[in-house]
Structure 1
Amino acid sequence: MLINVSYNNPERREKINAEVGKPFSLIERFKMKGIGSNKLFITSTSIEIHNLLILDKYTNTCNIEMRPDGILVTFRSLLETYALVIPYYKLKLYKGKAEEYSIYRDQYFIKVKADSKSTHNFMKKVLDFKAKHWSSSSHP
């Protein structure tokens, strides 16, 4: 689900929490050695996201936040912040060329440049967490 998260809206927050779980606690974040990615440069996107990103002239970047049941990929367009909410059972993460990762959920996708070791390590952390804590047999 692609959603505008610019404003504090309890209904929207509950919808996101239902999809990917509530944010990790501070203690859990320390134990996991962080739950967020560095700034990732977007190289390509699906048409719905592309139509939002072309509204301004800034460099297109995004961040990924891990949640217990999925990830949030957030990016900005104009003065608005959008999130692509992806539960683990719908997450498809591919490593393309050595310098690019593709993140898919249904018809949406975002391709990001992976030009640092920390990006590769974070993507590995996401895949490891998904494999360890999420089995498709116990969830939808």
Structure 2
Amino acid sequence: MLLNVSYTDKQVTKKIDEAVGKPFKLRERWDMGGIGSPRLFITETSVEIRNLLILDNNRDQCNIELRPKGIIVRFRSLLETFALVIPFYKLTLYKGDIGIYSIYRDHYFIKVKADTKAIQKFFIKIQNYKADNAPTSIEDL
């Protein structure tokens, strides 16, 4: 689900919280060693996201927030902030051969450059958290 999150809207916040859960409490964030990624540079995207990113001439970048039931990939275009909300059961991660990670949800995808150890550690954290906390059956959703 691709949403404009530039402005405070209770309906949008409710949609996000239903899909990926409410944000972690401060103590949980501390225990996990942080829930946000370093700055990620986008190398390739699906058509819908590309159409948003080409509106300005800035370098394409995003960040990822880990939530209890999924992740949120945020990026900016012009003066707007967009979020790709991905529950764990729809999240697919691929690691490319030249330091590129691909993040997929249905027909949306974002490929990012993983050129530092911090980025690689964050993607490992996502994979481990997904393995430990993803629903094992449809009733768990």
Could you tell me which residue of structure 2 aligns to residue 130 of structure 1? 130
1:132 and 1:109 mapped to 2: Cα distance?
23
Cα RMSD over matched residues? 0.8
Q: Does 1:65 align with 2:58?
A: no
Q: Note the C-alpha offset of 1:35.
A: 0.2
1:49 and 1:136 mapped to 2: Cα distance?
30
Within a 5 Å distance, the mapping from 1:86-125 to structure 2 comes to 86-125=86-125
Q: Which letter maps to 1:139?
A: D
Normalising by structure 2, what TM-score? 0.97
Normalising by structure 1, what TM-score? 0.98
Q: Which letter maps to 2:140?
A: H
Superposed CA deviations along residues 13-56 of structure 1, whole A, max 9, x for unmatched, are 00100000000010000000000000000000000000000000
Q: Which letter maps to 2:93?
A: L
SS at match of 1:15: helix
Q: Note the C-alpha offset of 1:82.
A: 0.1
Q: Note the C-alpha offset of 1:97.
A: 1.9
Asked if the contact 1:95/1:101 (under 8 Å) is kept, the reply is yes
Superposed CA deviations along residues 107-136 of structure 1, whole A, max 9, x for unmatched, are 000000000000110000000000011133
Could you tell me which residue of structure 1 aligns to residue 140 of structure 2? 139
Please identify runs of 4+ aligned residues in structure 1 that moved more than 4 A. Answer: none
SS at match of 2:124: helix
The number of residues matched between the two structures is 140
2:3 and 2:12 mapped to 1: Cα distance?
8
Task: Please list every run of 5 or more consecutive structure 2 residues that lacks an aligned counterpart in the other structure.
Answer: none
2:44 and 2:120 mapped to 1: Cα distance?
18
1:3 and 1:136 mapped to 2: Cα distance?
27
1:81 and 1:6 mapped to 2: Cα distance?
5
2:25 and 2:58 mapped to 1: Cα distance?
33
1:102 and 1:64 mapped to 2: Cα distance?
13
- Alignment identity in percent? 59
Q: Note the C-alpha offset of 1:139.
A: 2.9
Asked if the contact 1:89/1:136 (under 8 Å) is kept, the reply is no
SS at match of 1:81: strand
